[in-house]
Structure 1
Amino acid sequence: MSYTHGTEINRTDAPSMWRDGWAVGPALTYASAGFAAVAPDYLGMGLGPGPHPYLDVPSETTAALDLLRAAREFAPRTGHKLDRKVLVTGFSQGGTAATGLARALAGGTDEWFRLGALSPIAGAYDARRELLPIIGDLEPPINTGYTAYLLVSWNRLHHIYDQPSDVFEVDGIEQLFDGVHAGPDLADKLPPTLDLLLTDEGEALIDNPTGPFAAALAVHDATCTGWTPRAPVRLVVSGGDEQIRPGHTTTCQAAFAARGVRASIVDAGDLVFNGSTHLGANIMGTADTARWFRTL
């Protein structure tokens, strides 16, 4: 099974570095339930070179595929052979990474692996309509942190602005997302609200995405569309999630329904972890998904 992790800004928080249990804990949970579990680093995380291309589904997908292939090569050294069918899950950023991986597996991108089941947790499947409109209402520094991370990362990929001063009122924002800084650095540097972070041009970009930014959002928000899963699918949420609104999941469910696929929505409950129901969804959703995978 494959677990793709949620948002991290410091490369040492990636699963391979295992500085604490958060990023790798779900994979250990699935392994303890008897599965061969893999938890890929995204590009630019762990010991990978360069900055992380945040919320870039194509590179998240290839990172997950590469680790599956590495696991297939490694498993015989331990006397095991991996099943061809992959159980796919992930949380938050990793929720859309999971649906991206599932789409690739279902489409035969890999010669060996196939999709066995899909159970993403609290994924942002409709960032344009469900995340950007409320991103400024999130608690600081999450509100300005998510916004800055997205704009900086996607500018590297898609050139959505010419100079940082075009979109940011504050100097030095791009340097915060070099893979070395951590959450406290964001809290110290970022202002508490979007109107203090962004110029008029930056605010307009968030309020009404156009050009390359809109095109990139369309790619990110298409992981549930245009393909037909031939395996069990369910979408795990927390009804009280303060970051991921229910519309993300209902949009994804509707896209699958349009292809004749019934994807159930499962509410894992409203556990609050470190002051966040969104983070609690990872804990409860992982336990629930592990139990469901055991029934397949």
Structure 2
Amino acid sequence: MKPIKRRFFCAALLTAVMAASGIGTAAADTGCRGALLASTVVDRIPADKVGEYLRKANLDPSRAKFGVIAERIEYRTVTPNGRPTVASGLVVRPDGNPAATDLVSWAHGTMIYRGYAGSVSATDSTRSYAALFASAGYVTSAPDYLGLGTGPGTHPYLDVDSETTASIDALRATKQLAARERVRTTDRVLATGFSQGGPAAMALGRALSRGADPHLRLAALAPISGPYDLSGLVSTALSGGIDNATAYTAYFTVAWNRLHHLYDSPAEAFRDPAIVDLFDGNHPDQEVFPKLPATVGELLTPQFIEKLKHPTSALRRAFRVADGTCDWRPNVPVHLFAASGDHTVPIWNSRTCAGQLRENHATAEVVDVGAVDHLPSAKRASAQILALFQAS
């Protein structure tokens, strides 16, 4: 279908739109963070076709009631250094739902190529998961994060702070889009996400619980198969103890060097310095994976492996932040979905998270979706999460 694109402007118009919708002017008050700049309709699925669409994606269609409209949004947010930038994201809303609806925030998993983002790719799983929630009546916000989709620059992979700001600002922009389309939304946010999106959802929940936006309130938290113990997972990857260890380790190393300056020259970290060029966001998986060695020992220099095994200074501080997304006390029960058969992000990550939450006197449970691997764990969890959200 031909995209339908609309453009918006900041400041006065944003204030007017938000005031008219009764949701306040939080984005305008924070330098237009979250201001909706543009929207493009990328898909429409009528109510009589939603069930078939979800079944093809191996998702449970039993709770679908509405057709859905999917739009790519572009909105104002900030870089990891707090500088103004623009990000894209996907908003999927129910078509024809007259009642006030809660917001679902879906945080996606690892992607190397910007073109795989749900706002631009019709085949990425983000599109189908967002449609699942929207077909049940929720306006669903799925940020691409920074540097993916149509956003500028490179992606700060596994950077909790920018995942949080991108998610909050996407929710702000989503409320503006909903108000424009006369879809009433509440202040309740039901947060979930998969893999990389697990800690992102936890960090979003923490920010909302601490008052990051007075017009957004955490109402449920149910992430899936997340790397909550990132330092432990990196250590496991160094020994080849997870699937696709070289891809995840290379991506992490390149991205965190941009954030935390882990090396002066790529040759200090990589046996083949050209590996760095593969992780600029412009190379699809089929171009990246054939060029990666079989083991982490063949990927990284011995000196850099030792640096990852024994982090100091900026790297140690960064791991502490990444490992701390579960170290707080949510005011809602937390349901951590994971799979005992996961060889990419093992279930002990979720158990570690639950332990941290309980130490903070929070209510947390790990829900084992079975002896399936990483990607199927999200499909198995999704129907249960939707049921939890409807009961929240």
Question: Does 1:183 find its partner at 2:285?
Answer: yes
Q: CA shift at 1:269, angstroms?
A: 2.3
Tell whether the 8 Å contact from 1:238 to 1:278 is kept in structure 2 after alignment: yes
SS of equivalent residue, structure 1 residue 38: strand
Name the amino acid aligned to 2:294: P
Question: Does 1:137 find its partner at 2:233?
Answer: no
Aligned to 2:271: 169
Aligned to 1:274: none
Name the amino acid aligned to 1:85: R
**TM-score with structure 2 setting the length:** 0.71
Equivalent residues in 2 for 1:229-268, closer than 5 Å: 229-268=330-369
RMSD between aligned alpha carbons? 1.4
Q: CA shift at 1:121, angstroms?
A: 0.2
Tell whether the 8 Å contact from 1:124 to 1:131 is kept in structure 2 after alignment: no
Structure 1 134/151 Cα, relative in aligned 2: closer, same or farther at 3 Å? Answer: closer
Query: In the TM superposition, what whole-angstrom CA distance separates every residue of 1:12-32 from its partner, at most 9, and x where no partner exists?
Result: 111111241323221111111
| C-alpha separation in 2, matches of 1:240 and 1:117 | 26
Q: CA shift at 1:117, angstroms?
A: 0.7
| C-alpha separation in 2, matches of 1:4 and 1:157 | 21
Greater RCO between the two (CA within 8 Å, min separation 6)? 1
Tell whether the 8 Å contact from 1:5 to 1:94 is kept in structure 2 after alignment: yes
Name the amino acid aligned to 1:294: Q
More strand by share: 2
| C-alpha separation in 1, matches of 2:228 and 2:146 | 20
Equivalent residues in 2 for 1:57-136, closer than 5 Å: 57-136=160-239
Structure 1 91/135 Cα, relative in aligned 2: closer, same or farther at 3 Å? Answer: farther
SS of equivalent residue, structure 1 residue 68: helix
Aligned to 1:292: 388
Tell whether the 8 Å contact from 2:116 to 2:124 is kept in structure 1 after alignment: no
Q: CA shift at 1:135, angstroms?
A: 4.8
Q: Find 1:160's aligned residue among 259, 262, 280.
A: 262
Percent identity, aligned pairs only, is: 41
Q: CA shift at 1:211, angstroms?
A: 2.4
Name the amino acid aligned to 1:203: I
Aligned to 1:196: 298
SS of equivalent residue, structure 2 residue 186: coil
Tell whether the 8 Å contact from 2:237 to 2:296 is kept in structure 1 after alignment: no
Structure 1 156/130 Cα, relative in aligned 2: closer, same or farther at 3 Å? Answer: closer
TM superposition outliers: structure 1 runs of 4+ over 6 Å? none
Structure (1 or 2) with the larger CA radius of gyration? 2
Aligned to 1:270: 371
| C-alpha separation in 2, matches of 1:134 and 1:174 | 18
SS of equivalent residue, structure 1 residue 120: coil
| C-alpha separation in 1, matches of 2:108 and 2:371 | 20
Tell whether the 8 Å contact from 1:131 to 1:244 is kept in structure 2 after alignment: no
Aligned to 2:9: none
Query: In the TM superposition, what whole-angstrom CA distance separates every residue of 1:226-257 from its partner, at most 9, and x where no partner exists?
Result: x3211121111111111122221121111111
| C-alpha separation in 1, matches of 2:238 and 2:271 | 18
Aligned to 2:21: none
SS of equivalent residue, structure 1 residue 172: helix
Tell whether the 8 Å contact from 2:148 to 2:155 is kept in structure 1 after alignment: yes
Question: Does 1:44 find its partner at 2:147?
Answer: yes
Name the amino acid aligned to 1:232: P
**TM-score with structure 1 setting the length:** 0.94
Name the amino acid aligned to 1:290: L
| C-alpha separation in 1, matches of 2:324 and 2:266 | 28
